[in-house]
Amino acid sequence: MRRFLRHPVRLVPLVFLVAILIGTGLLMLRPMTIEYQHAPFMTALFTATSAISVTGLTVTDTPNYWSGSGLVLITVLTQLGGLGILTGAALVILTVSRRLGLHNRLLLQAETAEYGLGDVRRLLLRIATTVFACELAMTVIVTGRLWLAYDQPLSEALWSGAFHSIQAFNNCGFSLYRDGLLAFSRDPWVSLPLALGAIIGGLGFPAMFEAIREWRQPARWAVATKLTIWGSAALVAFGAVAFLAAEWANPWTVGQYDVPGKVVAAFAQIALARTGGFEVVPTEVLREESYPLLTGLMFIGGGSASTAGGIKVSTFFLLAFVIWAEVRGEPDVTVGHRRIATASQRQALTVALLSVAIVAAGTAALIAMTDKLPFYAALFEVTSAFSTTGLSVGVLPSLSDGGQLVLTVLMYVGRVGPLTFGSAIALNTRRRLYRYPEEQPIVG
C-alpha cells in the first residue's frame, strides 16, 4: 500500500476497475432492465466497462433493454467516468510535475501553463465547472429543438437532451434511440451541438484552457496546445472532405440528401467518429473506402488529458514532424520554432507502436473467437474499443462471450493505459554517468 501512496498514479487502474465492478453489480439488479430480470453478467460487465471508459459500445438494444433506472445509472457511470478521466489526468500531471527535477518541472509548467505546479483544488473545480457548463449549454439547445420542432413532451425532450449531451461531451456513444442519431443527421440544431461538444470534450483541459486564455495570440501557445488544436481542426476538415468524397453518391448514407444535408451529416459523423461514437449515418452500409478513414481517425483519437481515447492527436502529429525532419535530413525536430526533446520523440514512438501491437493482437483474438467475422469488421470493432470511440458495424450482439470479453479488456486498457503508461514513462527517467560508443545500423 505504501508503494501505491508514494505513486498515486498507480491507483488509477484500480479505481477504474472497482468502479466497473460496482457498476456491473448494479446493472445486474432486476429494476435495471425493462423485463425486470437480472441482466447476464457478461452483458452487465460489457455495459459498465463501456460506460466507465466512456466508449458507448453496447451488446444490447439500449433503449429497449435497459429501464429508466438502468439508463440513469448508465448516465451516472458515464459522467463519473468522464470526470474521473479528467481528474485522473490532472492528478497525473500534478504528480509527475512534483516528481521531476526542477528543470523538467519548469518545462512541464511551460507546457501546461500554471496548472503544472498550481492549486489542485482550483484546477479540479475549474474542470468540473467547464464540464457542467458545456453539458448544460448543449442540453438547452437540444432540448429546445426536440420540444419545438419534433413535438416531444418537455420532460421527454429534457431527458433526451441531457442524456445525449452528457454522452457527447464525455465522448461516449450510448443513445436513447435505437438507430442512434440517424433521424437527426441533417438537423444542425441537434447533430452540430453534440458534435461540437464531443470536439471540445476531446481537446483536453490543458489545451482548452490555454487556448481560451491566449485566444488573441495563438503564436504564444505551447507546442502541445498547437498540435492538439490545429491538429484536431485539420483531422476534422480532412475527414469531412474525404468522407463526403467517398459517400457523396451512396444512396444508403448521404447520397439521398441535398448539399447542406450532406455537409452537416458528414461533419457531424467525422467529429463524432474520432471520439464520440454516435452513429449519424448507418455505419454498416458505408462504402469500403470509408472504413479505413474512420478506423484511422478512431486510432488517432483526441487530445491528451481529455475524455477521448486513441494515441492522441499530439502524438500523431509529433511523429509526423519527426518523419518530415528525417526526410529532409534535419538534425532537429522543430515545431513552431521549438526543438522537440528526444525523450518526447521516443515516447510518442513507443505509444504509437504499442497501440498498433495491441490493436493487432486484439483483432487476431477477436477473429479467433468469432466465426465468419470479416477482417475489416474485426479491425473496426477492436479499434473502436481500444480508442474508446463506440462506433460499430453492427456485429456486437452476435459476438460470443469470449469476443465480448476481448472488447471489454480493450476498452479498459484503452482507457487507463495511456494515463498510467504515460505517467510511468515520465517518472521512469534515468541518468547514466557514461555512454556506449555509437553505431548506425542499416535501416530499410
If pLDDT is split at 50, 70 and 90, which confidence band does 286 have? very high
Task: Report whether pLDDT(62) > 80.
Answer: yes
If pLDDT is split at 50, 70 and 90, which confidence band does 5 have? very low
**Residue 331 confidence (pLDDT):** 87
pTM attached to this predicted model = 0.88
378, 367 Cβ separation under 8 angstroms: yes
**Residue 204 confidence (pLDDT):** 82
Cell numbers describing residue 53? 471508459
Task: Report whether pLDDT(179) > 60.
Answer: yes
Cell numbers describing residue 118? 498550481
| Lowest-confidence region among 8-12, 347-351, 422-426 | 422-426
If pLDDT is split at 50, 70 and 90, which confidence band does 7 have? low
**Residue 364 confidence (pLDDT):** 94
Percentage, residues of the chain above pLDDT 70: 84
| Lowest-confidence region among 93-102, 153-162, 214-223 | 93-102
**Residue 233 confidence (pLDDT):** 94
β-sheet bridge partners, residue 339: 334
List, for residues 386-417, the tens digit of each pLDDT value.
999 989 988 888 888 899 999 999 999 988 87
If pLDDT is split at 50, 70 and 90, which confidence band does 274 have? confident
d(CA 29, CA 25): 7
Residue 274 half-sphere exposure toward CB, CA atoms < 13 A: 36
User: Phi, psi (5° rounding) for residue 66?
Assistant: -90, 140
**Residue 273 confidence (pLDDT):** 84
If pLDDT is split at 50, 70 and 90, which confidence band does 439 have? confident
**Residue 102 confidence (pLDDT):** 42
List, for residues 206-262, the tens digit of each pLDDT value.
788 888 888 888 888 888 889 999 999 999 999 999 999 999 999 999 998 999 999
Give per-residue burial for 355-375: e unless 16+ CB within 10 Å, then b.
beebbeebbebbbebbeebee
Helix/strand/coil (H/E/C) assignment for every residue in 246-290: HHCCCCCCCCCCCHHHHHHHHHHHHHHHHHHCCCCCCHHHCCCCH
Closest CA to 56 of 400, 336, 414, 342: 414
Task: Report whether pLDDT(105) > 50.
Answer: no
β-sheet bridge partners, residue 334: 339
Cell numbers describing residue 432? 547514466
**Residue 95 confidence (pLDDT):** 54
Task: Report whether pLDDT(282) > 80.
Answer: yes
Of how many residues is the chain composed?
Answer: 444
Task: Report whether pLDDT(72) > 50.
Answer: yes
**Residue 432 confidence (pLDDT):** 65
User: Phi, psi (5° rounding) for residue 334?
Assistant: -120, 145
Task: Report whether pLDDT(75) > 70.
Answer: yes
If pLDDT is split at 50, 70 and 90, which confidence band does 32 have? very high
Give per-residue burial for 288-315: e unless 16+ CB within 10 Å, then b.
eebbebbbbbbbbbbbbbbbbbbbbbbb
* Average pLDDT taken over every residue of the chain: 85
State mean pLDDT over 335-339: 86
